[in-house]
């Protein structure tokens, strides 16, 4: 390993939406910063997730940076929900517009980061055999950036092509006339399946857990709507930040329990939102995430729609989820359930007919052999902690993050972790992150970190470290809020339940405005819960 003479105020790991904005802010403040990015381009999630049909499920006018008034005025989104190519184009535009590339080193992965207590800096090593020194280490590594390959025997013996939705090739994949198998029915699969079915000669979907999905009702951007937002983008953003998930959508939530609304009004409300499309569905009533009886009403409504759409009653029943709606990340789709009416599309419930292994020709289940040319793994991610824990991060006394988080992530505000001084995480576990519009959460974290670094510079502090008690209280607080909701009632990736052996801990903080308020209180109380030295 070459110990380089390069010294930075801050190393930013990643050049997705978090890393890019962090780099921009650091440079604005006059800090010497570099970003290391494992891909050969910017965009993070939107760089990697190029599967057919990949699309954001937050509306374009909201899913964009707010930090530059000129940028948000000048950029034109073409659709209600942006597709992956357009979001990646936007990320590249931002990189060029703010001249970020000169401080991003592409195709460079950070493999370890060790805190040197005597020198009070991080020693950061990359897979380019270089070690650099930095006062601060900022992890902008994304929440869904380590793909999850299922532990199925014989994957390597399959002689056809295999793809993971989260690492889709850059070149178009030709599926014309091919027999395609898809494993998984999460958001990625639900977006991809109608596209895969369009091309493939045969498509077989292996489902472990059915998912709730609401029609996206995507369409071209409406010029009148765009003009109205752009006339006062500041207020639009401010209102969005006050919404529980920092997502307002185009239909306000109804402030009433489902149990307090009589039929037929209750069903009419749900139907109106089903027709409108998108996350607005979950705003039909104010207690869908809190009260099982209310949730059952919305869940049954969606099951009814699935039964309406899918011709074969047996297939419809297999596709109908029976857990709490919204407990797993709710999906948005375009013709997902309709796709199962096509004669060349088949659904296999692997609870009834388990996958035994992959073999040279395809997938062997307990009851059948399915031969494929292509198998697509839409099996998700080791979410929120996966990428952080793949890097050998060592804090005070050589303690590794892997050891510290062996029973689940422990953070203070989801921004820092005790005994890892001068280390920040953008949208880390314990922050609202994946339960919100990610860009809003990213901007809030970046601004908080930037202000903290400015404060430290102004007061000649060299070190910031979270207090262990403050951290313990934070973890308990995050769990207490989650326990008030229906989130812990199913096996979601929010709980780490999709990864065998991962500790079952609810990772994100529920609610955005209440979280921001806590972060502001901490600062106003002179960085309460931190030791500054």
Binding site for ligand NA7 (CB under 6 A): 144, 150, 165, 183-189, 208-209, 329, 350, 378-381, 493, 498
Q: Which is nearer to ligand NA7, 372 or 493 (CB)?
A: 493
Specify whether the CB–CB gap between 43 and 145 falls below 8 A. Answer: no
Q: Is 96 exposed, middle or buried (0-12, 13-18, 19+ CB in 10 A)?
A: exposed
Q: Which is nearer to ligand NA7, 164 or 445 (CB)?
A: 164
The DSSP bridge pattern shows strands 355-359 and 345-349 to be unpaired
The answer to whether 485 and 289 have CB atoms below 8 angstroms apart is: yes
Whose Cβ is closer to ligand NA7: residue 339's or residue 379's? 379
Residue 165 CB, shortest distance to ligand NA7, in Å, is 6
Closer residue to ligand NA7 in complex, CB, 414/421: 414
Token pair in block for residue 121? 């800096």
Sheet holding 355-359, edge to edge: 355-359, 362-365, 369-371
Distance between CA 72 and CA 93 in Å, rounded?
Answer: 12
Could you tell me the smallest distance in angstroms from the CB atom of residue 84 to ligand NA7? 11
Task: Give least dist CB 490 to ligand NA7, A.
Answer: 9
Min dist. Cβ of residue 494 to ligand NA7 (A)? 9
Cα distance between residue 4 and residue 167, in whole Å: 32
Cβ 343 to ligand NA7 shortest distance, Å: 24
Q: Which is nearer to ligand NA7, 381 or 515 (CB)?
A: 381
- Name the residue whose CB lies closest to ligand NA7: 186
Residue 493 beta carbon to ligand NA7: minimum distance, rounded to whole angstroms: 5
Helix 17-28 vs helix 438-458: crossing angle, to nearest 10: 30
Element at 166 (helix H, strand E): none
Minimum distance from CB of 208 to ligand NA7 (Å)?
4
If the CB atoms of residues 61 and 193 are measured against ligand NA7, the closer one turns out to be 193
Q: Which is nearer to ligand NA7, 336 or 424 (CB)?
A: 336
SS3 track for 192-244? HHHHHHHHCCEEEEEECCCCCEEECCCCECCHHHHHHHHHCHHHHHHHHHCCC
């Amino acid at each position: 390993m070459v110990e380089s003479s390069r010294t930075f105020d801050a190393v930013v790991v990643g050049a997705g939406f978090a890393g890019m904005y962090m780099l921009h802010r650091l440079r604005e403040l006059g800090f010497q910063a570099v970003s290391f990015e494992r891909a050969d381009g910017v965009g993070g999630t939107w760089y990697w997730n190029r599967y057919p049909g990949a699309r954001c499920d937050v509306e374009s006018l909201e899913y964009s940076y707010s930090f530059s008034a000129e940028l948000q005025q000048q950029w034109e989104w073409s659709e209600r929900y942006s597709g992956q190519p357009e979001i990646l184009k936007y990320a590249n535009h931002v990189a060029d517009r703010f001249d970020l590339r000169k401080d991003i080193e592409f195709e460079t992965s950070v493999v370890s980061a060790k805190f040197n207590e005597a020198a009070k800096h991080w020693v950061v090593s990359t897979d380019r055999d270089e070690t650099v020194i930095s006062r601060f280490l900022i992890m902008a590594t994304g929440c869904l950036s380590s793909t999850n390959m299922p532990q199925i025997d014989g994957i390597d013996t399959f002689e056809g092509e295999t793809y993971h939705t989260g690492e889709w090739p850059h070149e178009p994949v030709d599926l014309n006339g091919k027999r395609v198998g898809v494993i998984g029915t999460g958001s990625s699969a639900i977006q991809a399946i109608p596209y895969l079915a369009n091309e493939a000669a045969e498509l077989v979907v292996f489902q472990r857990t059915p998912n709730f999905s609401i029609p996206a009702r995507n369409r071209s951007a409406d010029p009148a709507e765009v003009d109205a937002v752009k006339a006062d983008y500041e207020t639009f953003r401010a209102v969005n930040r006050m919404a529980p998930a920092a997502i307002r959508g185009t239909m306000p939530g109804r402030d009433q329990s489902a149990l307090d609304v009589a039929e037929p009004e209750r069903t009419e409300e749900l139907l109106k939102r089903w027709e409108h499309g998108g996350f607005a569905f979950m705003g039909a009533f104010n207690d869908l995430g809190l009260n099982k009886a209310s949730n059952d009403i919305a869940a049954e409504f969606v099951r009814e729609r699935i039964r309406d759409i899918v011709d074969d009653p047996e297939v419809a029943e297999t596709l109908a989820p029976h857990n709490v709606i919204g407990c797993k990340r709710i999906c948005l789709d375009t013709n997902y359930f309709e796709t199962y009416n096509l004669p060349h599309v088949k659904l296999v419930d692997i609870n009834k007919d388990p996958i035994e292994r992959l073999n040279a020709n395809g997938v062997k289940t307990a009851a059948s052999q399915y031969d494929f040319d292509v198998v697509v793994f839409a099996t998700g991610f080791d979410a929120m902690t996966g990428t952080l824990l793949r890097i050998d991060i060592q804090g005070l006394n050589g303690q590794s993050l892997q050891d510290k988080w062996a029973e689940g992530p422990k953070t203070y505000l989801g921004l820092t972790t005790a005994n890892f001084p001068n280390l920040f995480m953008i949208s880390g576990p314990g922050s609202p992150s994946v339960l919100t519009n990610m860009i809003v959460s990213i901007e809030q974290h970046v601004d908080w970190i930037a202000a903290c670094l400015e404060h430290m510079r102004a007061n000649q502090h060299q070190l910031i470290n979270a207090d262990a008690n403050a951290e313990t209280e934070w973890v308990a607080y995050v769990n207490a809020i989650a326990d008030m909701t229906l989130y812990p009632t199913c096996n979601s990736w929010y709980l780490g339940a999709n990864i065998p052996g991962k500790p079952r801990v609810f990772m994100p903080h529920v609610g955005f405005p209440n979280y921001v308020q806590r972060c502001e209180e901490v600062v106003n109380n002179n960085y309460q819960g931190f030791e500054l030295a």
